[in-house]
Amino acid sequence: MGELDSGVGGYFAGMKNNSSFKKICVTVVWSWLFIFAMVPVLLTLITSFLTADSSSLVVFKPTLQNYTQLFNSAYLKILLQSLYLATSCTLLCLIIGYPFAFTIARSKSRHRALLLLLVMIPFWTSSLIRTYAIMALIKAKGILNTVLLAIGLIHHPLPILYSYSAVLLGCVYDLLPFMILPLYGNIEKLNPDLLEAAQDLGAGKIRTMVKVVFPLTMPGIIAGTLLVFLPAMTMFYIPVLLGGAKNLLLGNLIENQFLSANNWPMGAAISMLITVFMGAMILLYWRNAQSKDKQNLQELV
């Protein structure tokens, strides 16, 4: 305590500083994250190579079976279904979200804070409650059918709930803010002079978009994709509440393996599969963001 660093340029002096305060901070942070973030993932990895056992859940018998089983037709079907749903959901969020983010990022600065806050509120709001809200909207005696029947547009309630479309609608509704916020962060930083320059040099609106705006906002697009794609595959209550089916997506499969089928190694293997997906997407993001702005996700808060 009370040591005096006499380096030139105080900030750099701070860097070689070895106070006990620094040691305590770094130790606390690293121990917590090591125990509660890194060890658990390591345990998942180990468990995914072990054998399930009916009496003691897991026995230490190394095997690759959990991974080879993933290629069974039943599992493969769920995997493909999940990929399909997650891809559709991500594309829809991108198509709806990009023009929206672009518009609010280019709106008058005194309105911008409020417009952004209105996206942030659903971002932080429980997605379960928002899924329930969608359920209330589309169920057989829900508001949508009631309105459509009342104005005579339909004569029988539309069976939207418990269908694939309902699951997709729920995913888009729940995850749209997760796409908009990183996009907004990127588009807002875009220098408007660049767009002007492109147009001065003779590029049309579409060409400016494709050649200038999209490439420059690519980190935002990838960050948004990351935040939409993975949850879309793994939010198990969306298919349960809106799809009615139990085994539609990878999330339900993991939940099922852990809480009902008691096949923890299998569940762990599926979880590792998702982790690998995530790793690949993060690498893609980092390579894209490197020259631009690495701490892009800061814009989320």
Partner 1 sequence: MKKFTKQIYPSFVYLFLYLPILIVIIFSFNDASRSLIWKGFTLKWYFELFHDSGMLTVAAHSIIIGILAASLASSIGTITAVSLFRYRFFGKNLLHGLLFVMIVTPEIVIGISLLLLYSATNVPLGFWSLLLAHTTLCIPFAAITVYSRITSLDKSIFEAARDLGASDFVIFSKIIVPLLLPAIVAAWLLSFTLSLDDVITSYFVSGPGFAILPLKVYAMVRLGIKPEINALCTLLLIGTLLLVVAAQVALKKNEKVGE
Which 170-229 positions form the footprint of partner 1 (CB under 8 A)? Answer: 173, 176-177, 226-227
Residues in 112-131 that interact with partner 1 by CB under 8 A: 113, 115, 117-122, 124-131
- Distance (Å, whole) CA 113 – CA 89: 27
Dist. CA 47–CA 16, nearest whole Å: 41
Report the nearest approach of partner 1 to the CB of residue 285 (Å): 9
Nearest CB to partner 1, comparing residues 220 and 251: 251
Quote the CA–CA distance of 285 and 236 in Å, as a whole number.
26
Q: Is 276 in the site for partner 1 (CB under 8 A)?
A: no
| Residue 286, token pair as written in the block | 């980092």
179: tokens are 């796409």
The 3-state DSSP composition of the chain as helix, strand, coil percent (nearest 5) reads 75, 0, 25
Among 5, 80, 205, 214, contact with partner 1 (rule: CB under 8 A) = 5
Q: Rank residues 151 and 301 by Cβ distance to partner 1 and give the closer one.
A: 301
Q: Is 258 in the site for partner 1 (CB under 8 A)?
A: yes
Query: Minimum CB separation from partner 1 for residue 217, in Å?
Result: 17
DSSP structure class, residue 54: T
Residues 46-65 that bind partner 1 (CB under 8 A): 47, 57
165 binds partner 1, rule: CB under 8 A: no
The span of 27-35, 59-67, 190-198, 201-209 binding partner 1 (CB under 8 A) equals: 27-35
261 binds partner 1 (CB under 8 A): no
142 binds partner 1 (CB under 8 A): yes
- Binding residues for partner 1, total number by CB under 8 A: 99
Give the integer Cα–Cα distance in Å for 254 and 242.
18
Torsion of the alpha carbons at 239, 242, 245 and 247, rounded to the nearest 10:
0
**Looking at 159-167, 196-204, 207-215, 278-286, which segment touches partner 1 (CB under 8 A)?**
278-286
57: β partners = 53
Minimum distance, C-beta of residue 158 to partner 1, in the bound complex (Å):
15
Task: Name which of residues 80 to 99 contact partner 1 (CB under 8 A).
Answer: 96, 99
Q: Alpha-carbon distance 27 to 301, whole Å?
A: 26
8 Å CB contact between 144 and 252: no
